[in-house]
A = this chain, B = another copy of it.
Amino acid sequence: MPDTTFRSSSPGVGELFQLLRDGKPKTRAELASACGLARSTVAARIEALLDCGLVAVVDDLGSTGGRPPARVVLNPDAGLMLAIDLGATHGAVGLVDLGGTIRARDHEHLLVTDGPEFVLDRVVDMARKLLGSIDRTPSDLIAAAIGVPGPVEFATGRPSNPPIMPGWDGFDIPAWIREHLHVPTLVDNDVNVMAVGERARAFPDTADLIFVKVATGIGAGIIAGGALQRGAGGIAGDIGHVRAARGSDVACTCGNIGCLEAVASGSAVARQLRATGRDVSSTAEGLKLVRDGDVDAIQAVRQAGRDLGEVLAACVNLINPSVIVIGGSLAQAGEHLLAGVREVVYSRSTPLAAEHLAIVQSSAGPDAGIIGAGALALDSALSADSVNALAA
């Protein structure tokens, strides 16, 4: 496929900025060579970036013989990203600098069912307090990204018929954040954001990765060909409602029967344990039984892993990823869940697809959402167009 994206103005500024993202100082000559622009053009672009504080000059004091050429480096303090992770029952907010470091973070119990105004009001309040805690103001924010627990029309940032977010359908989240914090905002599905976070944290060089969140529900974020895949309607990765091999008579909350989520989610495991007479009303209580060594609980989690594995085996043949990351609260059951997943994926995927496939537990854990939102906001802030605007 041809790349039909064209830079709209000041070609080169965004490219230079991307080259500096690794945090290593570079001379103008190195930058010119790496991006193919003329040295005079690079020099002019660097001046613009220096003028607006996005890059800084470093001196090589330790060098011997002759004056070394000045090197420029990304200035991580030039701006902050606002990273927001909204779940069904929590809201987490972080401030991320241009170097990708989380400078401050906070979270609180927050019900997404309380509706957009109430929830976003709390989030904005948390953001202001965080900014104050590190002596910064909303004017230091360059971009924001927010993950929400439902499908999103990515181009507009509006939730699209989100099943567990009453009152949010079509709500203009970017407009609301812009009105209160004056910052451009990207909105995406929470599991997509977590996939980006997991990749940024643990697999920066992996082009094909599937992140699976197993909690009250089940969803996946897909990175293929190096890019997050959102699909035609922004709902790619919705594996929770794929038909499971087992449990064809189990009703799902979606109205269909036999969905993966109805047999292998944290709530499904809890329900199965209740059927054995145990007093389990949540994923957390089911996990406690697992940790206590309850054989039925361990077997239920292992079987959930197998059910998940059946669906993931199809995903493996279809997408051919090199990494599957299992996250979400039920993943805290650790090897029991992963063992079930691996058992089926490695027996049902084609040998070629399974040969170099790693199936691992999330290493970003509860931070995946904040890290991912920070990375997405940083990407949008550092895109050629945005940097061109900053340096204009």
Q: Chain A residues in contact with chain B, CB under 8 A?
A: 1-12, 15, 18-19, 21, 34-37, 151, 160-161, 196, 206-208, 220, 222-239, 241-243, 245, 254, 256, 310-311, 313-315, 317-322, 348, 350, 352-353, 355-357, 379, 382-383
**Candidates B6, B223, B235, B348; contact of A352 at CB < 8 Å:** B235
CB-based contact B243/A314 at 8 Å: yes
Q: Which residue of B lies closest to A322 (CB)?
A: B232
CB-based contact B320/A1 at 8 Å: no
List 7 tightest A-B contacts by C-beta distance, closest first: A231-B320, A232-B322, A236-B320, A242-B314, A208-B232, A238-B317, A7-B36
Residues of B close to A220: CB separation below 8 A:
318
**Candidates B1, B233, B382, B383; contact of A227 at CB < 8 Å:** B1
Residue of A9, A19, A208, A320 ringed by the most chain B CB atoms within 10 A? A320
Overall SS of chain A's interface: loop
Q: Which residue of B lies closest to A21 (CB)?
A: B2
CB-based contact A314/B314 at 8 Å: yes
> Once bound together, how far apart are the Cα atoms of A226 and B229, in whole Å?
10
With A233-B356, A355-B233: A226-B383 Cβ-Cβ less than 8 Å: no
Interchain nearest-CB distance for A241 vs B (Å): 5
Residues of B close to A10: CB separation below 8 A:
36
CB-based contact B11/A232 at 8 Å: no
> Once bound together, how far apart are the Cα atoms of A166 and B110, in whole Å?
60
Residues of B close to A311: CB separation below 8 A:
314
Interchain nearest-CB distance for A321 vs B (Å): 6
**Candidates B4, B206, B353; contact of A18 at CB < 8 Å:** B4
CB-based contact B235/A320 at 8 Å: yes
Residues of B close to A223: CB separation below 8 A:
1
> Once bound together, how far apart are the Cα atoms of A28 and B11, in whole Å?
17
